[in-house]
Amino acid sequence: MFVLPLAFTTHITAAIGLLVWGAATFAIVPPLQIRVMEAASEAPGLASSINVGAFNLGNALGAALGGGVLSVGLGYAAIPVAGGLLAAGGLLLAWLGSRRAQVATAQ
């Protein structure tokens, strides 16, 4: 996300970039959904609905973040940078959570 302001300088690069972005993000969802349902073998439907709810919450929070970036006057180019920072924070939390789970399993 950090390179989007630099890469999307023309209509052609923006169209190609958005096509690749869309294909990549939609390709991630089915394996993630399968993994969630396998991990929650006792209640896969409930786990699936919570997973979809988390996606929707992320969409809403992302829109709010983008609106906040615009409202403070940072401009459209700052939106992907703010999204990248939010994604980096999410990756850090996921890494810390998996590390904590590994330590708990080892004990």
Q: What is the pLDDT of residues 28-81, one digit of tens each?
A: 889 999 999 999 989 999 999 999 999 899 899 999 999 999 999 999 889 999
**What is the per-residue pLDDT for 25?**
86
Number of structural domains in the chain:
1
CB-based burial, 17-39: b 16+ in 10 Å, e otherwise: eeeeeeeeeeeeeeeebeebbee
* Confidence tier at 2 by pLDDT (50, 70, 90): confident
Q: What distance, in Å, lies between the first and last C-alpha atoms of the chain?
A: 38
Quick one: average pLDDT of 13-36?
Answer: 90
Q: Which domain holds residue 90?
A: 4-106
